Amino acid sequence: MEPSLPLALVWDVLATVLPRVAKIGLFIGIGVALADLLVSFGLLEKVTGLSRRLTGPANLPDEAGTAIVTTAASTTAGYGMLAEYRDEGRMDDRATLVAVTINTFFGFVQHIPTFYAPVLIPILGLRVGLAYVTARALVALAITLTGVVAGALLLDPPAAGDAVVDGAEPEAVEADGGDPAAASESPETTRDRLLGAAWTGAEKVRDILPRLALVYALVVLLTRFYDPANLTSLAGPLSDATGLPGAAVPVIAVYAIDTTNGALVLAPLVRDGTFGVRAAVATMLIGGIVSFAVSTFKRSIPFQYGIWGAEFGTKVVVVNTALKVVWIALAVAMVLYAPLPGL
């Protein structure tokens, strides 16, 4: 006997949501635990030295630097660290938005060895592939620098008294640098610190996971009744507005749904001369703009709402999407019309 439609739908949603939520929860827990370890072992200063050239001018606290560095390895872990710092009161909403924006370039970097270099460039060919990856890297860097400028203009420099020393609150540190509790408490062992970090990470995952699962389940249910791929109807008007070849429309539509498949569709059109380097790069960039309509609904909203909640999560989604669309649009204009050497 075949399962009823509602039961089959439930199993479909669970099969889609549970692995995704489990993976995100794992990386959030790792990120939060790592943040706790950096503070408890007094390693915060060493790690944040790598990113202080960005966090310093942006008036962000040193803690933000750990999340920025971590994002180069795992975006989810980096976001988990930022969420922990925000919940602890180390960063307010405005500073968190600035830090999320600065994270952009480091989030892009992690995809170079895992996707762009081994997958996309071989499909597109060296010249078109490198031109496209360079364009995306410059867009990501522009967004990061926008975050730095925003922090310089909108944030006050962090007060020296707000710094956290080896995990202790400022008021727990005496004027001579001594810890008033040191005389009555034995120092933490490495095992205690590791267990404490693991517990902190587990608590954060426990707090976030129900909300994350609920939002992802709702999104999956909605996509079973409405296909976000319908939003790729934007491809035609965007292609017409930029004067790209008619073949750009199906490429943009496919690219907006799946980057690899879009590159596979585009590659033979580059080889036969339908697309030059400029047109090929511009087409993929426009595909990136259209894909935000799909990916924001399917991935970004449930992820951000799960971590931050609906109110602040909406702010993060709006800022991220707006900056990406604006800078990619500027990149399209430059690729098509600016006198760039070699293109």
Contact present, 193 and 21 (Cβ < 8 Å): no
Say yes or no: 18 and 159 in one domain: yes
Report yes or no on 66 lying in a domain.
Answer: yes
Given 155, 176, 208, which residue is the final one in a domain? 208
Q: What is the largest CA-CA distance in the chain?
A: 78
pLDDT tens digits, one per residue of 258-276: 788 888 888 888 888 888 9
pLDDT at 136 over 90: yes
CA pair distance 285, 259, nearest whole angstrom: 11
Report yes or no on 131 lying in a domain.
Answer: no
Say yes or no: 203 and 254 in one domain: no
pLDDT at 328 over 90: yes
Q: What is the pTM of this model?
A: 0.72
Of 57, 86, 62, nearest to 151 (Cα)?
Answer: 57
Q: Measure the CA dihedral 196/70/144/306, to 10°.
A: -60
Contact present, 275 and 245 (Cβ < 8 Å): yes
pLDDT at 198 over 70: yes
Report yes or no on 163 lying in a domain.
Answer: yes
Say yes or no: 204 and 252 in one domain: no
Average pLDDT rounded to a whole number, residues 9-37: 74
Report yes or no on 213 lying in a domain.
Answer: no
Pairs from 113-119 (Cβ < 8 Å, separation ≥ 24): 115/259, 119/260
Report yes or no on 193 lying in a domain.
Answer: yes
Say yes or no: 165 and 193 in one domain: yes
pLDDT tens digits, one per residue of 58-81: 999 888 888 887 887 778 888 888
Position 222 scores a pLDDT of 65
How many domains is the chain built from? 2
User: Comparing 145-149, 187-191, 336-340, which segment has the lowest mean pLDDT?
Assistant: 187-191
Of 87, 84, 75, 86, nearest to 33 (Cα)?
Answer: 84
Beta bridge partners of 165: 168
CA pair distance 94, 61, nearest whole angstrom: 12
Report yes or no on 134 lying in a domain.
Answer: no
Say yes or no: 232 and 258 in one domain: yes
* Domain extent at residue 290: 226-343
Higher per-residue pLDDT: 78 or 185 = 78
Report yes or no on 217 lying in a domain.
Answer: no
